[in-house]
Amino acid sequence: MEKLPKINLLKRVFLNSFRNYSLPSFPIFWRNSVTDHRPGFETVAIRSGHRRTHELEHSEPIFATSSFVFENAAQAAARFSGDEPGNIYSRFTNPTTRAFEERLAAMEGGQACVATSSGMAAITSLCMAVLQAGDHIVSSRSIFGTTTSLFDKYLPRFGIDTSFVAQTDLHDWKRAIRANTRLLFVETPSNPLAEIADLRQLADLAHENNCLLVVDNCFCTPALQRPLELGADLVVHSVTKYLDGQGRIVGGAVVGPEALIKEDVFGVIRTTGPTMSPFNAWVALKGLETLSLRMKAHCEQAMQLARFLEQHPRVSRVYHAGLESHPQHELAGSQQSGFGGVVSFVVAGGRAEAWRIIDATEILSITANLGDVKTTITHPATTTHGRVSAEVKAITRIEEGLLRVAVGLENIDDIMIDLCRGLDA
C-alpha cells in the first residue's frame, strides 16, 4: 500500500474527528492525536466543542428545550444521581451551552468553563463559589463600576469585605493582603483608562498568600491575552462584549481548573440558576468563530484613532496602551498580542464639552456597551461609573472631560471625521 504524505494523513485524521457526534470534543482530540500538530487559535475558535448530531449538520444546532427525556426510569435516576453523564434540565445542562463552554475553555487554555446569563452573573457566582463569611478580597480600584458596587455594597451583607488598591502598584497590593484574604481581582486592561496590571507578579503574590487570582479578560479576550498562561487561576468574561462582537446578546463565563469550575462554580449555577440560554450560547458560538479576525481589526483601527487623537489640539490626554506614551506600554506588549479596541481621551471644558462632542456625532452609537462591530461612545463619569462616589472617581481619574470610544469596524476615516464634528467645531 502506498504511504500517504504526512500532511494528507493529518488532514484525514483532522476531518474524521468531526464526522461523528459521539467522538471526544476538539481539545481532547488534539491531545491524543498521533501527530505532534496542535491546531491554531483560529481553528480552535471554529471547531472545538462541536459534536455533530445524527443529522451531521455543518453548524451547531440550538437545543431549545427546557428539559430532556430519558429512556426509562433507571436512566433518569442514574442521571440525577450523577452515576451516568447526560442532560437533565437546561438550567444546568444543555448541549448548545456546553459547546460554547468547551470552545471558550479551549481558547483560554483552561480545563473547564461555566457560562452564565451575564458578566456580572459570572463574577457573582464565582464569589459565591469560592468565598464565605469572614473572607476578604483585594481588588483593583480600576474595575467595572458595577463590579465595584458588588464588592463594596452587596458582598459586605454576607460578611465578605474588599480592599481596593491601585492597579499598577504592587506594594499597594501587598499591603492590603490579610490573613483572611482569599481572592485577588483585577481587570486588565482597565475600563476606561487602559491601566495594565502585571499578571505574573500578581499571580506570584496571590499564590504566596494562598489566594486565587481572578482576571476579568473582557477587554482583551483570549485572542489577545491568556491570563491562565501568565499564572492566573480563574478568568471571567462578559460575553456580551467582544466574544459575541455584534451587540446581540447578554452573557458571561468563568474559566479555570476543572475541579473548581465543575464542582464549585457549577454547583452555584445549578442551584441559583443564572445560566446562559441555549439561544445566547449559539449566538456566542458564532461570535467566537470570527473573534481572531475582529480583534486584529479592532486593534488596528484603535491604534490609528489613538495616534490621531494624541495629535489633536483639543485633546489633552489619550489613554491607549498601544501608545509609546502609555506608562505600561512595554508591559502590555509583553503579556498581550495586541493593545485592544478601546480608546479614551480627555478634553477641556468638563462635562458640557464632553457631552457636546458626543451629541455632535452622527455615525457613532451613543451607548455604554463595547466590543461591537459598531463604534460606540460614552461619558464614563455619568454612565459606566455614574454610581461611583466622587472620591473614588477622583482617585481613579474618571474626570468629567473623559470620553471613551470602543472602536468598531467601520471605515476608520469615517470614525475620525465623526468625532471631529465636535472636536473641530
pLDDT over 90, % of the chain = 81
Residues 244, 112: one domain?
yes
Residues 228, 325: one domain?
no
Per-residue pLDDT reduced to its tens digit, 345-394? 999 999 999 999 999 999 999 999 999 999 999 999 999 888 778 888 88
- pTM value is 0.87
Residues 35, 77: one domain?
no
Residues 279, 357: one domain?
no
The mean pLDDT of 61-72, rounded to a whole number, is 92
Decide if 208 is inside a domain: yes
Total domains, the chain: 3
Residues 157, 258: one domain?
yes
The mean pLDDT of 260-276, rounded to a whole number, is 96
* Predicted local distance difference test score (pLDDT) of residue 32: 47
Decide if 62 is inside a domain: no
What is the domain range of residue 29?
6-39
Residue 409 · residue 381 · CB < 8 Å:
no
* Predicted local distance difference test score (pLDDT) of residue 392: 80
The CATH number covering residue 280 comes to: 3.40.640.10
Report in angstroms the alpha-carbon separations of 376 from 40, 117, 246, 379.
31, 23, 12, 11
